[in-house]
């Protein structure tokens, strides 16, 4: 016989949006159930953000060891012998991090008082669902529902992933051995992050991108150092190129994947060990009874329609994270999850963020917060722009953050000096994003940052100098 349960808050999905919502709701004294069909932590923790950054870090370490093992060493440091990648051991190390964080999320939910039910939820009505759990069927009735079902890798219908020769980002993070060659279909942030890591590990990488540039979400100036890095490291990039299909050829250990693509009106092909498909992600709106809930979709038909409080068209039903629209970022989902829990508890909240940071963990790393100069001008703003190169930063030089030609660029309104946007590119630059976001959320003026003492020697001084440059009186560049 199925177990029947009732709760004040039902959260479906324990990713970065769902588990945060569940923890916060329980902290506020609400009877909360979180349902998760896989592992707590979601795509970001289990097969996305965290494992990919672990692999990127390992690739950085391997590249550094290669430099030290070169004939003349590096930094006066030399290492005898040639470094070797044990891909299975690397993946095992990565999995250890993921497992630790997964258990941590489960412990946090329990400590807060939220009940985690593992199983697949299928909705039969707006606030009722059946969960197929290992212990048996559980029927749940809730006063409030938070949909946090996330998103999934997009398969190409003519080239579906088999996770052996044609792999998704998930497969790329679980490789048993390092492939000698990989073709990446899609030159967005996911493909390029993994492509940079594989290149550092020694794989011959080719990128096939349908648009006229890789990482098209970033402006030309900010992506230029990445394009130079790709060229320097012999990554072949085909732009305005459309994948047409892939075929497995050869026998046994000699089998290869032949990727066909069209470029400049001509059919071309390349044989590689693996084809990595990274053409985007799609919100998880099918397979769990969304059609029985009565919620409306947005004009694109892809996402659940929400307002600034993440309310759907059905009272008491909320949607957060990737399933509720762009930007499809873990930190946006977490912020929405915390907010919705507080709204259900009676707090006055709405999602009104001036800036949500976008960070690409390529080599070099790229940050974009707020408006770019072009976007500001398109909105009719009269602007001033200042740029400070990392090559002029002592700290950047000492940790080799300047080797990719990176910089920090600030855009401000000319009339009142309100900061409208900050973009940055460079090695080790991602951690500076918090100061950029804070400046925009606080409505900071250029003078506010200029008058703030930044410790020396640190990377953050480069932001201070970029603001001084915007004001016309940078100290460490002419």
Q: Active-site positions?
A: 456
Assess whether the previous peptide bond of 364 is cis (omega < 30° from 0): yes
What is the DSSP secondary structure assignment for residue 177, as one 8-state letter?
S
> Is the separation of the CB atoms in 346 and 157 below 8 Å?
no
Task: Give Cβ neighbours of residue 23 (< 8 Å, ≥ 6 apart).
Answer: 108, 109, 112, 114
> Is the separation of the CB atoms in 456 and 464 below 8 Å?
no
Tell me the DSSP string of 330-342: HHHHHHHHHHHHH
> Is the separation of the CB atoms in 269 and 261 below 8 Å?
yes
Residue 427: phi, psi to the nearest 5? -65, 140
CA-closest candidate to residue 206, choices 168, 172, 236: 236
Longest distance between any two alpha carbons in the chain, whole Å = 77
What is the DSSP secondary structure assignment for residue 254, as one 8-state letter?
G
3-state secondary structure of 321: helix
Q: Is the dihedral of CA 460, 462, 465, 466 positive or negative?
A: negative
Distance from chain centroid for Cα 3: 38
3-state secondary structure of 326: coil
Cα(252)–Cα(117) distance, integer angstroms: 44
Tell me the two tokens of residue 141: 């009735």
CA-closest candidate to residue 325, choices 150, 87, 120: 150
Residue with tokens 């299928």: 122
């Amino acid at each position: 016989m199925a177990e029947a349960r009732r709760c004040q808050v039902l959260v479906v999905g324990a990713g970065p949006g769902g588990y945060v919502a569940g923890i916060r709701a329980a902290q506020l004294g609400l009877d909360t159930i979180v349902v998760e069909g896989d592992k707590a932590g979601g795509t970001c923790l289990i097969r996305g953000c965290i494992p990919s950054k672990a692999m990127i870090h390992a690739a950085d370490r391997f590249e550094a060891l290669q430099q030290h093992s070169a004939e003349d060493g590096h930094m006066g440091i030399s290492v005898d012998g040639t470094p070797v990648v044990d891909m299975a051991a690397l993946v095992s190390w990565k999995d250890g991090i993921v497992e630790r964080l997964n258990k941590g999320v489960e412990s946090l939910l329990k400590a807060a008082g939220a009940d985690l039910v593992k199983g697949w939820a299928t909705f039969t009505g707006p606030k009722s669902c059946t969960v197929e759990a290992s212990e048996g069927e559980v029927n749940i009735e809730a006063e409030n529902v938070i949909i946090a079902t996330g998103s999934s890798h997009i398969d190409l219908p003519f080239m579906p992933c088999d996770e052996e020769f044609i792999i998704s980002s998930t497969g790329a993070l679980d490789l048993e051995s390092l492939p000698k060659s990989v073709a990446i279909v899609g030159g967005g942030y996911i493909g390029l992050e993994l492509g940079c890591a594989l290149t550092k590990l020694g794989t011959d990488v080719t990128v096939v991108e349908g648009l006229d540039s890789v990482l098209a979400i970033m402006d030309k100036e900010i992506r230029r150092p990445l394009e130079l890095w790709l060229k320097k490291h012999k990554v072949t990039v085909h732009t305005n190129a459309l994948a047409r299909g892939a075929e497995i050829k050869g026998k046994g250990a000699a089998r290869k994947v032949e990727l066909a693509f069209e470029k400049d009106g001509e059919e071309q092909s390349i044989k590689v060990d693996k084809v990595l498909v990274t053409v985007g992600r799609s919100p998880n709106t099918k397979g769990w009874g969304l059609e029985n809930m009565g919620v409306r979709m947005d004009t694109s038909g892809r996402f659940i329609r929400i307002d600034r409080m993440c309310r759907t068209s059905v009272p008491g039903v909320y949607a957060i994270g990737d399933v509720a629209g762009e930007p499809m970022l873990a930190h946006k989902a977490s912020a929405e999850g915390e907010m919705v829990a507080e709204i259900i508890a009676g707090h006055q909240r709405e999602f009104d963020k001036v800036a949500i940071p976008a960070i690409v963990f390529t080599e070099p790393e790229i940050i974009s917060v707020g408006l770019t100069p072009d976007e500001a001008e398109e909105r009719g703003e009269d602007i001033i722009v200042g740029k400070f190169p990392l090559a002029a930063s002592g700290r950047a030089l000492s940790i080799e953050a300047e080797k990719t030609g990176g910089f920090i660029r600030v855009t401000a309104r000319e009339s009142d000096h309100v900061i409208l946007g900050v973009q940055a590119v460079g090695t080790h630059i991602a951690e500076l994003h918090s100061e950029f976001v804070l400046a925009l959320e606080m409505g900071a003026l250029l003078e506010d940052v200029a008058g703030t003492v930044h410790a020396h020697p640190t990377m953050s001084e480069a932001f201070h100098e970029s603001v001084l440059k915007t004001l016309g009186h940078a100290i460490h560049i002419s």
